[in-house]
Structures are given as C-alpha cells and as structure tokens.
C-alpha cells in the first residue's frame, strides 16, 4: 500500500517549465533529447539538471570557506592604543558584554546560527536524498522552503562591516578596516545560496514514489 497514493506530473509526462511555470506535455520520444518550452523557449527539464552534483559542489566549497570565516578577523579597529582584531564570535561577545544583548542576539542569529544551520540543513537534505530516504518528506520540504527564506540574512555582518569601514575613518582617533574573514564569510553566504538554488526539492518525493512501487 503506497503511503502517498497520488500522481506526480513527471509520471504523466508533464514537465513544468522553470522559466514561465507552464505545464507541458512532453512526448516520450522527446524526453531523452533537448526540448524547449513552447511558451518562453527555455529548455525543459524533468528535474533541475545535475542538481545534486551542483548542490554538493557548492556546499563543500561553502564548508571549506566556513572555517577561515570564523577563525580569521572580520574587522580590524586601529586605535591609538593598538589594533583590535575582531572575529565574528568576538564581535558578538563584545556586544553582549557592553550591555546591548538584543543586538548581540540578532548578530549571533544572523552571523553564527543561520550559516551553521544552513550548512547542516543542506547536508541533511542532500544526504537523505542521496540515500533515497523516505523519512519525513513534508518536514524536509518545509526545511528547504525555510532555507530559501533565511538564505540572504547572513549577509548582515558583511553590511555592518562595510558601513563601519566607510564611517569610522577618523584619522586621529580610530580607523576600521575589513579583515580577511569578510571575503570568506561573503563566499559562504553566496555558496550556500547557490547550493540551495540548485537543489531540487522534488527529489525528496521521488524516492518515496520509487519506494512505493
């Protein structure tokens, strides 16, 4: 007895155009070759082409960049008393100690928690799809939807560093410079977003359908 006795579009030979979301009847003979959407001319695919491979590649690259992003300083404050090097985490600790804990919480969520959870969630999604797991498909689809929404929010620290760099250029008192972690952190944000974009959530449901047969 299938758990989800429902018909998918792909099984009916219906492909949804990625460009204009038109549902097209693709003849069996044309399914192996290249076929274009009759409305907008974009190439039609049953699933995102090589989605898993791209998603894995971007995710692995993001995981590598995540290490320098957290270990190297993201902001250098040059004062008369010397240079202060702040990593992402030490910036959060500084905010917490200076009494502005709501702000510390916002920065902690956006810069530490969101990138980490994004990487872990993508890892979970990719591994379960790779293993053709039938576990909690609805929840995994919801997780993917959440990933797409929170994706850009980890850019927060990049903007903050950029603004501080542009504002605090007081020659005599203090200057702020961006540290090497800014590049790595920006790369993490972009790479995890690219990884999520290439992942096709329909693959989660494909394994269930195959399992039911």
Partner 1 sequence: MTMQSPVPLAASPVLACHECDLLQYAPAEAGQMVCCRRCGCPLQHGRGCRPSTSLALVLAGLLVFVLANVFPVIGLEAGGSRTTTTLLGTVWQLSHQNMLPVAVLVLLTGVLMPGLELLCLLYLLLPLSLGHAPYGFASVMRLVRILHPWGMVEVFLLGVLVSLVKLAHMADVHPGIGLWSFFALILLLAGNASRFDAGQLWERYQTCRAMH
The answer to the question of residue 21 lying near partner 1 (CB under 8 A) is yes
Distance of CA 90 to the CA centre of its chain: 24
The answer to the question of residue 15 lying near partner 1 (CB under 8 A) is yes
How many residues belong to the site for partner 1 (CB under 8 A)?
Answer: 80
Q: Of 2-10, 57-65, 115-123, 126-134, which part binds partner 1 (CB under 8 A)?
A: 2-10
Of the two residues 51 and 151, which places its CB atom closer to partner 1 in the complex?
Answer: 151
The answer to the question of residue 67 lying near partner 1 (CB under 8 A) is no
Distance of CA 211 to the CA centre of its chain: 28
Tokens 């992402």 label which residue? 88
DSSP characters over 180-196: THHHHHHHHHHHHHHHH
Distance of CA 24 to the CA centre of its chain: 30
Min. distance of Cβ 63 from partner 1 in angstroms? 19
Of the two residues 21 and 83, which places its CB atom closer to partner 1 in the complex?
Answer: 21
Structure token pair of residue 28: 């069996």
Residue 71, number of CB atoms within 10 A of its CB: 13
Q: Give all strands (DSSP E) within 80-137, no chain letters.
A: 82-86
* Single residue of 93, 124, 127, 173 touching partner 1 by CB under 8 A: 173
Between 136 and 155, how does the x/- string for binding to partner 1 read (CB under 8 A)? -xx--xx-xx--x--xxx-x
Query: Rounded to the nearest 5 degrees, what angle is found at the Cα of 117, between the Cα atoms of 125 and 66?
Result: 105
3-state secondary structure of 21: coil
Residue 30, number of CB atoms within 10 A of its CB: 12
Of the two residues 1 and 167, which places its CB atom closer to partner 1 in the complex?
Answer: 167
Pairing of strands 14-16, 23-25: antiparallel
Residues 23-42 binding partner 1 (CB under 8 A) are 23-27, 29-30, 35-42
Residues 81-140 binding partner 1 (CB under 8 A) are 95, 98, 100, 103, 106-107, 110, 137-138
* Single residue of 20, 67, 93, 136 touching partner 1 by CB under 8 A: 20
Min. distance of Cβ 57 from partner 1 in angstroms? 19
């Amino acid at each position: 007895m299938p758990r989800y006795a429902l018909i998918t579009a792909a099984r009916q030979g219906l492909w949804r155009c990625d460009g204009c979301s038109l549902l097209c009847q693709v003849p069996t003979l044309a399914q192996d070759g290249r076929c274009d959407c009759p409305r907008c001319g974009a190439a039609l695919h049953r699933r995102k082409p090589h989605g898993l491979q791209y998603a894995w590649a971007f995710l692995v690259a993001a995981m590598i960049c995540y290490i320098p992003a957290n270990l190297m300083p993201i902001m250098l404050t040059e004062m008369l008393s010397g240079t202060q090097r702040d990593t992402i985490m030490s910036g959060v600790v500084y905010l917490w100690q200076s009494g502005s804990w709501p702000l510390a919480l916002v920065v902690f969520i956006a810069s530490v928690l969101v990138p980490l959870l994004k990487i872990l969630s993508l890892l979970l999604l990719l591994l379960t799809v790779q293993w053709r797991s039938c576990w909690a498909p609805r929840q995994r689809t919801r997780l993917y939807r959440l990933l797409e929404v929170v994706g850009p929010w980890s850019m927060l620290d990049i903007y903050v560093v950029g603004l501080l760099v542009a504002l605090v250029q007081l020659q005599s008192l203090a200057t702020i410079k961006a540290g090497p972690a800014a590049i790595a952190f920006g790369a993490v944000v972009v790479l995890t977003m690219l990884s999520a974009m290439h992942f096709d959530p329909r693959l989660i449901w494909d394994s269930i359908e195959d399992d039911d047969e």
